[in-house]
Amino acid sequence: MAKVLLGFMGSGKSTIARGLDPDYLDMDALIEKHLGMSIADFFATKGEEAFRQIESEILADLLQTDQVVSTGGGVVISQQNRDLLKTNTDNIYLKADFETLYQRIAADRDNQRPLFLNNSKEELAAIFQERQAWYEEVASLILDVTKLSPEEIIEELR
Ligand code: S3P
């Protein structure tokens, strides 16, 4: 069974996954490898819908593993993905407040996310709000990470 980390952009999924297991599987990195280009370039040329299709296929593959898996923040959007995630019993939602997440996303120069670039702060807040129930629907554990350091989160999850 995979140990799946869920949460909005900036919630620390990859950092925590790496801390739990250096051999963790990063969904976005695998998608980029599959696409042969960055997610930002793929969004710009083929659009979000095409991205979501590939994302679903990679999710299905990752759920067959016994690895720690860091997902992309939008993996919970589709009912199909949520149904798939519900077949996995170890889904950890790294929950944080929007303002904290927004500051992190905005400061992350190495990872310019298309949803950040293409939406106003208000629009991104609406996307965040809409997704809350979806993360909670598939989570087997919800951890409020807003005030926790990566070390504290990793300790908590061990
Ligand atoms: C997305 C989150 C990103 C990436 C893509 C779409 C989203 O992953 O999959 O840009 O819809 O929230 P991170 O959550 O790892 O930034």
Sorted by sequence, the CB contacts under 8 Å of residue 54 that are 6+ apart come out as 31, 34, 35
The model's pLDDT over 70-119, given as tens digits with 9 standing for 90+, comes to 999 999 999 999 999 999 999 999 999 999 999 999 999 888 899 999 99
Does ligand 1 come within 6 angstroms of the Cβ of 12? no
Q: Which pLDDT score is estimated for 95?
A: 98
Q: Which pLDDT score is estimated for 112?
A: 87
Q: Which pLDDT score is estimated for 110?
A: 87
Q: How far is the CA of 152 from the centre of ligand 1 (A)?
A: 24
- pLDDT above 90 (res 137): yes
Q: Which pLDDT score is estimated for 65?
A: 96
Q: How far is the CA of 44 from the centre of ligand 1 (A)?
A: 14
89-101 per-residue burial string, b: 16 or more CB within 10 A, e: under 16: eebbbbbbebeeb
Does ligand 1 come within 6 angstroms of the Cβ of 5? no
Percent of the chain with pLDDT over 90: 97
- Please name the residue ranges forming H helices in 71-120: 79-85, 98-107, 114-117
Q: How far is the CA of 9 from the centre of ligand 1 (A)?
A: 6
Q: How far is the CA of 4 from the centre of ligand 1 (A)?
A: 15
Q: Is 134 exposed, middle or buried (0-12, 13-18, 19+ CB in 10 A)?
A: buried
Q: Which pLDDT score is estimated for 149?
A: 95
Does ligand 1 come within 6 angstroms of the Cβ of 54? no
Residue 10 token pair: 């900036």
Q: Is 72 exposed, middle or buried (0-12, 13-18, 19+ CB in 10 A)?
A: buried
Contact of 12 with 95, CB cutoff 8 Å: no
